[in-house]
Amino acid sequence: ILNVEQSPQSLHVQEGDSTNFTCSFPSSNFYALHWYRWETAKSPEALFVMTLNGDEKKKGRISATLNTKEGYSYLYIKGSQPEDSATYLCAFEGSGYALNFGKGTSLLVTP
């Protein structure tokens, strides 16, 4: 099992605030880095799959960057809305089929 760390563990912001959180992962044997959003009582939803160093992906107000050499990825949410409240999971994919998940960052956005 590879060490995938996410920080902070939880975050509480006001509507309209921009926020970001971090996923750190092993920098060797890198294949892909996945981000998921997991809302309470729903299935995890895939946000991004990132494979190249320097990759930047964007989906609406959410974007992510990737640094495979130093082993980290940032997820940014611009102008947070209450519907962004969820747990954001990152998962490291190395060789083989296993995705190694972090524990997630739990985001609460209040009006």
Partner 1 sequence: ETGVTQTPRHLVMGMTNKKSLKCEQHLGHNAMYWYKQSAKKPLELMFVYNFKEQTENNSVPSRFSPECPNSSHLFLHLHTLQPEDSALYLCASSQDPLAGAGVFGPGTRLTVL
Q: What residues does 106 pair with on adjacent strands?
A: 10, 87
Q: Which of 64, 71, 80, 93 binds partner 1 (CB under 8 A)?
A: 93
Which 34-73 positions form the footprint of partner 1 (CB under 8 A)?
Answer: 34, 36, 41-46, 49
Contact between 96 and partner 1 by CB under 8 A: the answer reads: yes
Tokens standing for residue 65: 């960057």
To the nearest 5 percent, what fractions of the chain are helix, strand and coil? 5, 55, 45
The piece of 22-30, 52-60, 61-69, 97-105 that touches partner 1 (CB under 8 A) is 97-105
CA neighbours closer than 13 Å in the CB half-sphere of residue 78: 7
Q: Which of 47, 71, 104, 105 binds partner 1 (CB under 8 A)?
A: 104
